[in-house]
Amino acid sequence: MNITILTFDGFNELDSLIAFGILNRIKKDNWKVTLASNKSTVTSMNGLKVDIQSSLEDACKADVVIVGSGMKTRDIINDTKIMSSLKLNPSKQIIVSQCSGALILAKLGILGSIPACTDLTTKPWVQEAGVEVLNQAFYAKNNIATSGGCLSSVYLSAWVIAKTLGIKEAKEQIYYFAPVGEKELYISQTIKNIKPYL
């Protein structure tokens, strides 16, 4: 299982790195999670520099692609070199987006008539792209999922785990990350958000 998280300059640390941390907790020989970009190093919206492990070409071959969010997403969708490189296929890949990543999926034509979740800042731009925006944290249909709000990356990660390894594994991973004394509450809320879409 090869999972890539598309992470560009100006990325939101919570959107990319929470998913990266949760998904990398799974220790299986065939399970690999990497950050992918068009550059070897990217700088976050708050100045954090991160080395990239995969290319956009690698992402196009991955089993799961998570399209991260950031303050430069509108620059990304206007970059024809990047957008033409993203040959993603929802019939063969699980494709999910976090916050403004939904705008990239909309512009790639991947969402089509599927409604999306995104953050409040990106909402009007996704609507402009012809996609209905839902007032909820997570939504999925078949192999496509979107989430809105930085901390919804927990739901996104749990859904990817549940879809690929089963809901029991998803619960175990969320249990590890959830706050002490609130673990059952966090698991319950997470499963409530993702189970209808499995």
The pair of three-digit structure tokens given for residue 79, joined into one six-digit string: 């970059």
User: pLDDT band at residue 175, thresholds of 50, 70 and 90?
Assistant: very high
pLDDT at 146: 98
How far apart, in Å, do the first and last CA atoms of the chain sit? 18
Domain count, the chain: 1
Helical pair 167-177 and 13-23, crossing angle rounded to 10 deg: 120
Whole-prediction pTM = 0.96
Q: What is the pLDDT of residues 90-101, one digit of tens each?
A: 999 999 999 999
Q: What is the pLDDT of residues 111-159, one digit of tens each?
A: 999 999 999 999 999 999 999 999 999 999 999 999 999 999 999 999 9
Closest C-alpha among 96, 95, 101, 106 to residue 121: 101
DSSP-derived pairing of the beta strands 144-147 and 138-141: antiparallel
Residue 135: CB atoms within 10 A of its CB come to: 8
As a whole number of Å, the CA-based R_g of the chain is: 15
Residue 63: CB atoms within 10 A of its CB come to: 16
pLDDT at 92: 97
C-alpha distances out from residue 158 to 31, 128, 130, Å: 15, 29, 28
User: pLDDT band at residue 38, thresholds of 50, 70 and 90?
Assistant: very high
Q: What is the pLDDT of residues 69-84, one digit of tens each?
A: 999 999 999 999 999 9
pLDDT at 111: 97
What stretch of H or E contains 25? Answer: none
Report percent pLDDT > 70 for the chain. 100
User: pLDDT band at residue 165, thresholds of 50, 70 and 90?
Assistant: very high
Q: What is the pLDDT of residues 50-63, one digit of tens each?
A: 999 999 999 999 99
Report percent pLDDT > 90 for the chain. 99
Please report, to the nearest 10 degrees, the dihedral formed by the alpha carbons of residues 38, 34, 61, 118 taken in order: -80
Mean pLDDT (the chain, rounded) = 97
Q: What is the CATH number of the domain that holds 105?
A: 3.40.50.880
How far, in whole angstroms, is CA 151 from its chain's centroid? Answer: 11
Average pLDDT over every residue of 9-35: 96
Cβ–Cβ < 8 Å for 123, 113: no
Q: How far apart are CA 111 and CA 114, in angstroms?
A: 5
Q: Which domain holds residue 133?
A: 2-197
pLDDT at 30: 93
